[in-house]
Amino acid sequence: MSAFILDGKAIAAAIKQEIKDEIESKNIKCGLAVVLVGDDEASKVYVKNKIKACSQTGIKSYAYYLQPTAEENELLQLIDALNNDSNIHGILVQLPLPSHISPNKVISAINPKKDVDGFCAQNMGKLFLGETDMLAPCTPSGIIEILKRSNIEISGKNAVIVGRSNIVGKPIALMMLRENATVTITHSKTKDLKSITSLADILIVAAGKRELIDASMVKKGAVVVDVGIHRTEQGLKGDVKFDEASKIAQAITPVPGGVGPMTIAMLLKNTLKAAKDLLEIQ
């Protein structure tokens, strides 16, 4: 039996339509600033996709491209201007930043109400405290949304997360906990990873290591969510060996077309939420 494919692209399209309908029906003027520092090829593609998605939903995007040599101060000044610009409701600084710029300093400079990535201490802290009214990180929110819209039960399940990044691993662990999963976080120093992943009812892999997870590491009937994305000569690959794992799993996200489009859909959703909160629209 082959696994059910969790079609992130289709679910993201449905969410984008909902956003577009709401923006149109309430006539919301919504603006997202997207900032890219440097010329990292993958980041350029991500930024282009985010800008395109804005135009599909009626969100006005404002793109800012800074040289790889731009000083930290220049970026902080730009963020200050965007914080004070009433046309801008969301600010996204694409990561990673060049090594001479501190991501923490930059993220902390963004007004938490405009922090549509949900990366700042205030938004992360609210997530930690189990609050729901904040801007939450997009990739983990997208994963929860795929599972819920695919009617996958989370409560009481063993969820194993591979990876402990601030962008995915830590926040998805908190969100799965909020959904009453029993959560285990593993990482690059975990001993005998396979003995833990094979217990997962829901396996979420955000390790950033191409095809780390093979079929022997997946429990029969598990739900597998692959957050990895790696450009290879054979096309895009994930952190999971899809061909093998899809023979064991009950359901699996593909790469591409799984988590990636959901991240963008949740970014748009956060931008709409930020705009409604700032403009005091219900």
Structure-block tokens of residue 224: 């597998």
CA proximity to 202, closest of 247, 152, 127, 150: 152
Q: Cα(94)–Cα(92) distance, rounded to whole angstroms?
A: 6
Q: Which is nearer to ligand GUN, 137 or 193 (CB)?
A: 137
Is 201 among the residues that bind ligand GUN (CB under 6 A)? no
Q: Which is nearer to ligand GUN, 109 or 167 (CB)?
A: 167
Is 262 among the residues that bind ligand GUN (CB under 6 A)? no
DSSP tag of 182: E
Token pair 């998605």 in the structure block, residue: 53
Q: Contact letters (x/-) for ligand GUN, 36-75, by CB under 6 A?
A: ----------------------------------------
Q: Least distance (Å) from ligand GUN to the CB of residue 241?
A: 22
Site for ligand GUN in 150-169 (CB under 6 A): 167
DSSP tag of 151: T
Near ligand GUN by CB under 6 A, which window of 86-94, 156-164, 190-198, 251-259?
86-94
At 162 the three-state DSSP class reads strand
DSSP tag of 97: P
Q: Which is nearer to ligand GUN, 117 or 201 (CB)?
A: 117
Q: Least distance (Å) from ligand GUN to the CB of residue 261?
A: 13
Residue from 113, 114, 117, 170 carrying the catalytic annotation: 117
Pairing of strands 202-205, 182-186: unpaired
Of 5, 63, 95, 215, which lies in the binding site for ligand GUN, with binding defined by CB under 6 A?
Answer: 95
Of 16, 23, 79, 94, which lies in the binding site for ligand GUN, with binding defined by CB under 6 A?
Answer: 94
Q: Cα(160)–Cα(145) distance, rounded to whole angstroms?
A: 17
Q: What stretch of H or E contains 27?
A: none
What sign does the CA torsion over 98, 102, 105, 107 have? Answer: positive
268 φψ region: left (φ > 0), alpha (ψ -120 to 50), beta (else): alpha
Active site residue 94: yes
Q: Are 175 and 128 in contact (CB under 8 A)?
A: no
Near ligand GUN by CB under 6 A, which window of 81-89, 91-99, 191-199, 210-218?
91-99
Is 271 among the residues that bind ligand GUN (CB under 6 A)? no
Pairing of strands 4-5, 31-37: unpaired
Q: Are 49 and 264 in contact (CB under 8 A)?
A: yes
Q: Are 260 and 138 in contact (CB under 8 A)?
A: no
Which amino acid does the sequence have at 56? Q
Q: Least distance (Å) from ligand GUN to the CB of residue 191?
A: 28
Active site residue 60: no
Is 92 among the residues that bind ligand GUN (CB under 6 A)? yes
Active site residue 277: no
Is 263 among the residues that bind ligand GUN (CB under 6 A)? yes
Q: Which is nearer to ligand GUN, 167 or 255 (CB)?
A: 167
Q: Cα(41)–Cα(141) distance, rounded to whole angstroms?
A: 25
Of 23, 32, 37, 117, which lies in the binding site for ligand GUN, with binding defined by CB under 6 A?
Answer: 117
Q: Which is nearer to ligand GUN, 24 or 39 (CB)?
A: 39
Q: Which residue ranges make up the site for ligand GUN (CB under 6 A)?
A: 92-95, 117, 138-139, 167, 263
Which residues are designated catalytic?
50, 94, 117
